[in-house]
Homo-oligomer: A and B are copies of this chain.
Amino acid sequence: MLNYSQSEENYIKAIYHLQADGETVTTNALAQELLTRPASVTDMMKKLKTKKLLNYQPYQGFRLNNEGKKVALGIIRRHRLWEYFLSEKLKFGWDEVHEIAEELEHVSSKKLVDKLDEYLGFPKFDPHGDPIPDMNGKIENYQQVSLVDLPLNTLAEVCHVSNQSTEMLDLLKHKNISIGTRLEIKQKFHFDSSVEIKIRQQHLVTISEQLAKNIFVRYGA
């Protein structure tokens, strides 16, 4: 696997995100994403085309090919592993990790990244709930649903909370739930739609429908 410049890597990653929905990526969209000028994008697209990372014909937009996607997944892997490290080990807040990971992701040692992965215990999701590609660039399939829609006895991981009020965060803290918490539903009570959950290595707790609606989890497909 060749090495790419910091700038090339930032372009590759941005294209990957923009083309995720199957669309062709446009010059303007990419320029906006990277806070740069359309002319600069065109220049870089020519370069990445000669490096055989994407398909591009003038005026036709562009998409990463398989090689380009593989490179992108490597960068995303590094980015998310560092975010996890910053959040989990160094106790940075969710909002602070992205900017620093934006730099760390460009340190390219393969051995570093794989050892970091191991040290962190092969985490599956970054602090924002986004999946971390494994050594082979594979991202786990997952379903993302509100906790009220999680099937009984299905291990899932909290990946998102749709309400960030102090009150909600207080309650979550009290119930010992945060992003990354692994849990399963043991029982649903139809009277008030409350659910009884078992958090990994903790006791059973009951949470209200109100709260469950705002907790999002992912589980294996």
Contact = CB atoms under 8 A, between A and B. Distances in A.
Interface residues of A, number: 18
A178 to B, nearest CB: 19
A165 interface: no
Interface centre among A103, A112, A116, A119 (most CB of B within 10 A): A112
Interface in A73-105: 86, 89-92, 96, 99-100, 103-104
A17 interface: no
Contacts of A109: 99-100, 103
A113 to B, nearest CB: 10
A103 B91 CA distance: 23
A6 B103 CA distance: 12
Interface string A41-62: 0000000000000000000000
A115 interface: yes
Contacts of A100: 107, 109, 112
B104 A90 contact: no
Nearest to A119: B90
Nearest to A97: B112
Contacts of A99: 109
A200 B115 CA distance: 20
Nearest to A115: B90
B112 A90 contact: yes
A115 B100 CA distance: 13
Contact of A92 (B91, B103, B115): B115
A88 to B, nearest CB: 11
Interface of A: 86, 89-92, 96, 99-100, 103-104, 107-109, 111-112, 115-116, 119
- What 7 A-B pairs have minimum CB-CB distances, sorted nearest first? A90-B115, A103-B107, A100-B109, A100-B112, A90-B119, A104-B107, A89-B119
5 contacts: A90-B112, A90-B116, A92-B111, A99-B109, A103-B107
